Amino acid sequence: MDNKQDRIRSMNLILRVMQLFGLWPWSLDKEEQWTLLGFLKRNYRYLLHLPITFTFIGLMWLEALVSSNLEQAGQVLYMSITEMALVVKILSIWHHRTAAWRLMEELKISPDYALRSQIEVDFWRKEQSFFKRFFYIYILISLGVVYSGCTGVLFLDYYELPFAYYVPFEWKNKRGFRLAYGYDIAGMTLTCISNITLDTLGCYFLFHISLLYRLLGFRLRNLRDIQDDIDFGQKLRNIFQLHQNIKRLSLTCQKIVSPYILSQIILSALIICFSGYRLQHVGIRANPGQFIAMLQFVSVMILQIYLPCYYGNEITIHANQLTNEVYHTNWLHCRPPIRKLLNSYMEYLKRPVNVRAGNFFAVGLPIFVKTINNAYSFLALLLNVSK
């Protein structure tokens, strides 16, 4: 009944894309690492990201540093800060690549998380399908931001790059523009796909753990139909064991996703601030393509902050809901030892469950609201300074 591929069905294609873009290991087989193919697979990520991703981001920051005024710097700072969050994400997943691989494999094949009834299988498939559809749309919208910006500049009467960066040669001519424009598209495509797939991976870990807490709640509620004390006690112990495993998974997930969620939230206020500042200077009549691309960019950035906060909040909500599920069990008809066990379990459930970004704050919807408020405050300050 439990198809192991179904457990992570929404991530199968995403993981393949991440492998192609050097963000997910091809294999952890130690014997293969000593072969030529293993060497190429292990170092492929550097060959791809060093000449494009990191060089492109460095040129963006160089353009910001050599800008002569705040308006010119604002045209590139909003994207430069965004790319700095990407650098943290890439370095983080490279550092935790083994832990992330093992976590995904455990979620996929471990018998501890096997689905035990058709109801659980149907529930799991439905939630996984919804996650997959939603994030495919998110990925398409994000790519749309890049290519709408790249397309818009082609209709201008003068040469302008869709996403500014320092070009070490004269590019305001036909041949130079083609070279600079081509590298711009290549750099933005690679960084965009890297950014959104890493966001999807982090959100998926949070989403999967929240599903396991919901599954735990279903099994607690189903205990009300069990009359036999021995069977009740055995299933209750299985639930305790599953809960311990989920707590361990939560800590592993926090270790993997905490660095880049922290960087994303810290930098997002500045990103939205400079994006709003640039919208003030991009006229819809003068450059409609760039204006629409900027509106899309701001929308995607807000969504990029909201998604990990939402899924982190889901973990907290469904973990706290377990106390109510214990009340729905048939605990009044249990023997005193089982009731004492349930009472101890409820005391254990009083401990708050959340995923923390570093040791600074819990990932949840309150931090999303604070981030948006900070972005508005920074924007108001920047507009006053500009005037």
pLDDT at 28 (0 to 100) = 65
Q: How many whole angstroms separate alpha carbon 148 and alpha carbon 154?
A: 10
Helix ranges (DSSP H) in 21-117: 36-49, 55-65, 70-95, 97-109
* Radius of gyration, alpha carbons of the chain: 24
pLDDT at 205 (0 to 100) = 92
Q: How many whole angstroms separate alpha carbon 267 and alpha carbon 261?
A: 10
pLDDT at 54 (0 to 100) = 92
Which residues on neighbouring strands pair with residue 114, listed in sequence order? none
Strands (E), the chain: 356-357, 361-362
pLDDT at 250 (0 to 100) = 87
**What is the DSSP secondary structure assignment for residue 110, as one 8-state letter?**
-
Number of C-beta neighbours around residue 143 at 10 A: 16
| Amino acid in the structure at residue 314 | E
Q: How many whole angstroms separate alpha carbon 107 and alpha carbon 113?
A: 7
Ordered DSSP codes for 45-59: HHHHHIIIIIHHHHH
In the chain (387 residues long), the average pLDDT of successive 10-residue segments reads 68 89 77 68 86 90 77 71 86 90 88 84 89 90 82 78 84 87 90 91 92 88 73 80 88 87 81 73 62 76 87 88 78 72 77 79 84 79 69
pLDDT at 74 (0 to 100) = 64
pLDDT at 283 (0 to 100) = 59
Are the beta carbons of 349 and 326 closer than 8 angstroms? Answer: yes
**What is the DSSP secondary structure assignment for residue 3, as one 8-state letter?**
-
Q: Residue 48 burial by CB count (10 A; 0-12/13-18/19+): exposed, middle or buried?
A: middle
Query: Which has the closest alpha carbon to 282: 183, 167, 153?
Result: 153
Are the beta carbons of 151 and 284 closer than 8 angstroms? Answer: no
pLDDT at 29 (0 to 100) = 59
pLDDT at 197 (0 to 100) = 92
Q: How many whole angstroms separate alpha carbon 343 and alpha carbon 37?
A: 56
